[in-house]
Every structure is written in C-alpha cells, then in structure tokens.
Amino acid sequence: MAGYIINIEEETLAGSDFRRVLYTAPHSQLVLMTLQPGEDIGEEIHQHVDQFFRIESGRGRVVLNDEVTEVSDGFAIVVPAGTKHNLINIGDTPLKLYTIYSPANHPDGTIHHTKAEADEYEKHHHH
C-alpha cells in the first residue's frame, strides 16, 4: 500500500497499550495511546515536533503552557512545537486517543504496553 488506511476510531477504542506506533511516514507519525485513570502523558516540550491529539473516549485535562482545558470524546488538540504540554486522564475509564507527530517522534514500530515501560524506555533513549 502506498500509504496507510485504517478505521482509526475502531482501532483506538480497541487498543489498550500506553503507546503503539501505527505508521511512520517521511514527515509524520500516527500513534495510538491509552491512559489509565489517573495516568498522564508526562509534562514535556517537543522543540521541533508539532503534535495533534484526537480523543475517542474518556475524560481528560489538557495543559498547554499552564492553560488547562477539559476534553472528552470528539476533542482535537493541536500542540505547536515548543509548547509545554501534558494530558491527564481525570475520568474513571481509560482515556483513548490517537496522536499525530510531525515529524515522527518515536522509532517506527514502537509499542509500550504500559506507561512504566515507556518511562523506562525514555530513560535510556533521549531524543
């Protein structure tokens, strides 16, 4: 296939991994994420990466440069490069979303089943 075609809503809702890279293109990367209740992505800044999030289920709190917004199914969030950001699951069900990084931010094929696994990986592989 010349690109990548998927029912993103179905795949996102079926997913349970903290992070699963679905597809990496020359200038962007499609990733599924699931945050368990109380879990967060972790405050971070990508200096050279724009990021787009789309919430498919659950309730979250987005923090962009200390500005807080509550989000749920249907919300899209655009995080320009250089913006301090975090996403926290404030509900009692998993927060399921997909995200697009431009350019790619993770090695192609990356799967972290849990946040602990992702944190461990980040410790040893700083970009």
Looking at the whole model, is its pTM more than 0.85?
A: yes
- Total tally of structural domains belonging to the chain: 1
Domain containing 49 equals 8-124
Identify whether 107 is part of a domain.
yes
103 vs 126: CA distance, rounded Å: 16
Instruction: Give residue-wise pLDDT tens across range 85-117.
Output: 999 999 999 999 999 999 999 999 999 999 999
Identify whether 67 is part of a domain.
yes
Identify whether 71 is part of a domain.
yes
Identify whether 1 is part of a domain.
no
Tell me the average pLDDT across 22-50.
Answer: 97
Place of tokens 């919300």: 75
Output the six-digit token pair for 24: 């990496």
Identify whether 55 is part of a domain.
yes
Percentage of the chain modeled with pLDDT above 90: 94
Percentage of the chain modeled with pLDDT above 70: 98
| 85 CB neighbour count, 10 Å cutoff | 20
25 vs 39: CA distance, rounded Å: 28
The chain-wide mean pLDDT, for the chain, equals 96
Identify whether 3 is part of a domain.
no
CATH of residue 99's domain is: 2.60.120.10
Q: Is 50's pLDDT higher than 60? A: yes
Identify whether 86 is part of a domain.
yes
Identify whether 2 is part of a domain.
no
Instruction: Give residue-wise pLDDT tens across range 35-45.
Output: 999 999 999 99
Q: Is 127's pLDDT higher than 70? A: no
